[in-house]
């Protein structure tokens, strides 16, 4: 990921929930989490449940700080009607 470039989140099987900088001003979430399995690939899309909400039971267990959780809560989860994410300036 290039500095100052982020993602407009949609359903995208490429955006890595832990390693890509998709939460503005936070950077990769793996840098602020309790435990990420080395080599595991978890997409942003896979962290949304069937009702279109974030999978908080998973996210809360792994992230360290409340400010990061609040940042994610402010982001609308990916909409399955969109195909992929697009890059944007941050």
Write the pLDDT tens digit of every residue in 11-63. Answer: 556 889 988 999 988 889 988 887 766 667 889 988 998 888 999 988 888 87
User: How many separate domains does the chain show?
Assistant: 1
pTM of the model: 0.70
The boundaries of the domain holding residue 79 are 5-89
Q: What is the pLDDT at residue 5? A: 58
Say if residues 59 and 47 touch (Cβ distance below 8 Å). yes
Q: What is the pLDDT at residue 37? A: 62
Q: How far apart are the first and last CA of the chain?
A: 12
Give the mean pLDDT of 65-89. 74
Confidence of residue 10 (pLDDT cuts 50, 70, 90): low
Q: What is the pLDDT at residue 56? A: 92
């Amino acid at each position: 990921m290039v500095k100052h470039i982020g993602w407009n989140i949609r359903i995208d099987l490429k955006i890595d929930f832990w390693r890509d900088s998709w939460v503005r001003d936070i950077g990769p979430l793996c840098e602020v989490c309790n435990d990420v399995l080395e080599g595991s690939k978890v997409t942003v899309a896979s962290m949304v449940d069937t009702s279109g909400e974030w999978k908080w039971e998973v996210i809360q267990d792994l992230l360290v700080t409340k400010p990061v959780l609040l940042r994610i809560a402010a982001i609308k989860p990916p909409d399955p009607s969109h195909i992929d994410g697009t890059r944007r300036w941050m």
